[in-house]
Amino acid sequence: MLDLTTPSPVESDETETLSENVFRRIQAAIVKGDIAPGSKISEPELARTYGISRGPLREAIHRLEGQRLLVRVPHVGARVVSLNHAELIELYEIRESLEGMACRLAAERMSQADIDELRRVLDTHERDAAFQAGLGYYQQEGDYDFHYRIIQGSGNQTLVKMLCGELYQLVRMYRIQFSATPNRPRQAFAEHHRILDAIADRDGELAELLMRRHIGASKRNIERHYLDANNNSPRGEK
């Protein structure tokens, strides 16, 4: 079942279609966990919740499938994606390799102005109230996302298309899910600063190494989470 606070009906302006509006709102609800992983998607329920007709809703659902946030299950219909342990580790292995490459390229190609702006992004992260309280890491998307800015700074449009397009919201979904692990927000922030320093020094080899270690640390955090969940389940059942 969907777990949603009731939003107001979709309001559209001249620059945004109904489908685009509802797409962004459902996307945000999935990524933030307001619609839980594995939830069955009910078109009638969503149409009522968002106050739109089925046509624009189906278009939005199709786009969410393209982002891998929704999956089609035979004889069931659309569900919110819920990666198993092995699938999630594979996703992080892809990130470790490709974001490491993006970081090396960014060290070679980012302008000084872009590097200065990236430092200001980290300043914004540090001032975030939830981060200061130890509740999680700053999770705005796009230009306020440290990883997004580095990938964009790589100048490699194939990497950008993959990591800031096709896989971006799926990765964000799990980054948010695991961002509140005790001590991890502070560790991640320190790792971000070391990565940025390597980029600023134009040391692509070190920047790549640090990014790979950073994502590797997140991957190990996920593995510990699954191990703890398995150990705490009755008779170790998954």
Same domain, 41 and 150: no
Phi, psi of 203 (to 5 degrees): -100, 85
Same domain, 70 and 114: no
User: In this structure, is residue 137 part of a structural domain?
Assistant: yes
User: In this structure, is residue 12 part of a structural domain?
Assistant: no
DSSP designation for 7? P
pLDDT in tens, 104-134: 999 999 999 999 999 999 999 988 877 787 7
Same domain, 115 and 221: yes
Same domain, 32 and 89: no
Domain residues for the domain of 73 are 18-80
pLDDT in tens, 15-26: 468 889 999 999
Strands (E), 117-232: none
197 Cβ contact list (under 8 Å, min separation 6): none
pLDDT in tens, 141-156: 899 999 999 999 999 9
Same domain, 106 and 35: no
Same domain, 92 and 47: no
Same domain, 109 and 164: yes
Same domain, 75 and 91: no
Q: How far apart are CA 40 and CA 81, in angstroms?
A: 10
User: In this structure, is residue 132 part of a structural domain?
Assistant: yes
CATH number for the domain that contains residue 122? 1.20.120.530
